[in-house]
Amino acid sequence: MFEAHFQTFEDPEGGVALTARLAAFREEMHRRQLTGFVIPRADQQQNEYVAPSEERLAWLTGFTGSAGLAVVLAKEAAVFVDGRYALQAAQQVDTHAWSIVSLVDPPPESWLAEHLSAGDRVGYDPWLHTTAAAERLAKACAKAGAELIPVESNPVDSIWTDRPAPPLGPVTIHDARFAGETEADKLTRIRAEMKKLGVDATVLSDSHAVAWTFNIRGADVSHTPLPLSYALVPKDGRPVVFIDSRKLSNTSRDHLERNADVCEPDALTEALTATARSGASIGLDSATAADALTRLITCAGGKPVRGNDPVSLLKAAKNPTEIAGARSAHQRDAVALARFLAWVDREAPKGALTEIDAVEALETFRRDTGALKDVSFPTIAGTGPNGAIVHYRVTRKSNRRIAPGDLLLIDSGAQYEDGTTDVTRTIAIGQPTDEMRDRFTRVLRGHIAIARAVFPDGTTGAQLDTLARQFLWQAGVDFEHGTGHGVGSYLSVHEGPARISKLGTTQLKRGMILSNEPGYYKRDAFGIRIENLVLVAAMEIPGAEKAMNGFET
């Protein structure tokens, strides 16, 4: 009756294969005269979701989370994860071969400085680290008297004999009825931002920025309609889009060529070098631009100017067409979710349903809308102790029966051409315990506090984050993830730069869409999260002396 088309339930590799890979990797390090190497969970553009060919961290360690890093030394190895993935890493990584360490406190650089010796040579792939990250690693190495070495080819790739081919998803046009703004108008706004920065050109190293600017979408990354690509935008003249031509139809090529020249990805190096030779100042996005780009521009005589991507804030504040599309997408999605909740209410008390059943049913109800393009991330359906794993993904092996007395945490989303959705509900199967009721109530009160917040222009996500946590703090508990993240318009379900978290320093602007998702997780017992998406909008307050904003759910 139900089935999943957009997600699978295969178990990650483990055991002997991973042990052999770590040994082979150390041999490759030795062959290259390296005593250490740093492997981030990243591709060349720091995407959250990466193509199978870029899953180096998972291939080497077994850890499949969307954020993390590994350091391999001659006799020690460590996997670094944040609080969202601590339980998952403990389940997936061989702790006899790897230490599992916090990604935040202390940071990997501290661990590295403590475990290196004078004269050590630590390698890194400059295409997989931002310049800021590389500088932190270099400082840590120098503290121990070691040296950080950029490599020309990644040693993981040298031993990954069955590495998948790079993706070639077809590029499609994101129609004006969904985009709400032409490519030419977007380029005009981008150049206005470039003028403020004082740069001669800027590199769009974030594929989301390229997709938004040129109103295209793709299929290179799971669950995100992303065409992997770069663009070089000069302050005058035609931009250049660097994208594999095999992804382009005549129609999509013609669409791009209305506003830009189109070149193969390997032409980026030559184009940047030519631009930099004149001493040009070239803008780079601190969050996504690879250290290799900074090094290339510097070596060619240019001036890399690191800062915020000029597209990120423009993209984050949705236009009226995108906002209308988001409302339409959520209305459609709500029907599917309501059907799912009714099905759970009817079937779960019988005690026969499993987590996989829930995932397959919810996706089927969404496909029944006739508009589903993909899920926006693998559905998180965790019952009992699995619900306490913040980013749990059910597999055939971990699949658990949804039993009376359990809580079922279901976090899911959809990709529709008119909008991207993300929603979480926690469902009590039968009678919850008093503790479950208390924690759920505290999470709900925090969720409502965010939804009802009123705040002036200039407010950041960090200033609002405590509203969601206050009731949990009163009970001496907390949650180890942000309260909210930005959401794209038929793009990434996790979009920067705005977020509601302790680290959210970006001002919240009208038109931004963010999640509101406080939670509580009791290890080996249950998890609770309640999530809706909210729109930053003007608040009409009689007698107000200054402009105020709030959230529309």
Tell me which fold the domain 172-314 belongs to: Creatine Amidinohydrolase; Chain A, domain 1 (3.40.350)
Residue ranges of the chain that CATH labels 3.90.230.10: 320-552
Give the mean model confidence (pLDDT) for residues 276-305: 96
Residue 513, classed as helix, strand or coil, is strand
Percent of the chain scoring above 90 in pLDDT:
94
Residues contacting 487, CB < 8 A, separation 6+: 420, 422, 493, 494, 495, 513, 514, 515, 533
| 265-274 pLDDT tens trace | 999 999 999 9
**Mean residue pLDDT across the chain:** 96
Task: Give the confidence band of 298 by pLDDT, cuts at 50, 70, 90.
Answer: very high
pLDDT at 12 over 80: no
H helices within 71-197, ranges in order?
86-92, 108-115, 131-143, 155-159, 176-179, 183-197
Q: What is the mean pLDDT of residues 289-304?
A: 97
More confident residue, 66 or 281: 281
The pLDDT of residue 15 is 64
Rounded to whole angstroms, the Cα distance separating 357 from 262 reads 45
Fold of 16-159: Creatine Amidinohydrolase; Chain A, domain 1 (3.40.350)
pLDDT reading at 221 higher than 80? yes
Which has the minimum average pLDDT: 105-109, 122-126, 499-503? 105-109
Question: What is the rounded distance in angstroms from the CA atom of residue 429 to the CA atom of residue 403?
Answer: 7
pLDDT at 104: 82
Question: What's at 412, amino acid-wise?
Answer: S
Whether the Cβ atoms of residue 153 and residue 138 lie closer than 8 Å to each other:
no
Intervals of CATH 3.40.350.10 along the chain: 16-159, 172-314
Q: What is the pLDDT, as a whole number, of residue 103?
A: 86
CA distance 531 to 331: 16
Position 14 pLDDT exceeds 90: no
Q: Provide the whole-model pTM.
A: 0.94
Residue 16 has what pLDDT? Answer: 66
- What is the mean predicted confidence (pLDDT) over 131-145? 96
Residue type, 143: K
pLDDT score at 17? 81
What CATH number is given for 320-552 in this structure?
A: 3.90.230.10
